[in-house]
Amino acid sequence: MVSTHQSGGGVALSTAKPFIAGGLVFAIGLMAVDGQSLGRWLSTASPETVQGCEKMVQSNAQLSREQLAKLLVVPERDPKEAVRKIVAEPYCSLPQLQVRSGVVSEREAYPMAWDPAVQLVILYENDEYAGYRFRFQ
């Protein structure tokens, strides 16, 4: 006699496989990035840095939801001008830093129009768009 009963573990494992594979890909990607430099960039997310803008550019600059939506689809390594067509002048420029060895990076902060305590920080390397992150005050 053949049993047709399946244990719950088999179903759970088959649904978990994509998540496990995704986690492995993510972990490998993180290992490929220079972790020490990335850590330095992430550590600059403290509110002290936001309040200490190196240079105020446009004190009334804010980023709308529409601008944010357009920016999120800009591919990395596009020219800085492509990003500037979407976001215009920043609120302020943050101190330069070195995210990767031998490359000086520029950062610009843009407060969100719907919540100025949230800022979008855009990173440029060699006048190319290198990414973004959110900063919460």
Report the percent of the chain where pLDDT is more than 70. Answer: 66
Greater pLDDT, 98 or 39: 98
Question: Tens of pLDDT along 22-38?
Answer: 766 666 665 665 555 55
Nearest to 49 by CA among 112, 91, 90, 94: 94
Q: Which residue has the tokens 């490929």?
A: 32
Q: What is the DSSP string of 4-55?
A: ----HHHHHHHHHHHHHHHHHHHHHHHHHS-HHHHHHHHHTTSHHHHHS-SE
What's the confidence (pLDDT) of residue 113? 92
The pLDDT confidence band at residue 80, using thresholds 50, 70 and 90, is very high
What's the confidence (pLDDT) of residue 67? 93
What's the confidence (pLDDT) of residue 58? 81
The pLDDT confidence band at residue 122, using thresholds 50, 70 and 90, is very high
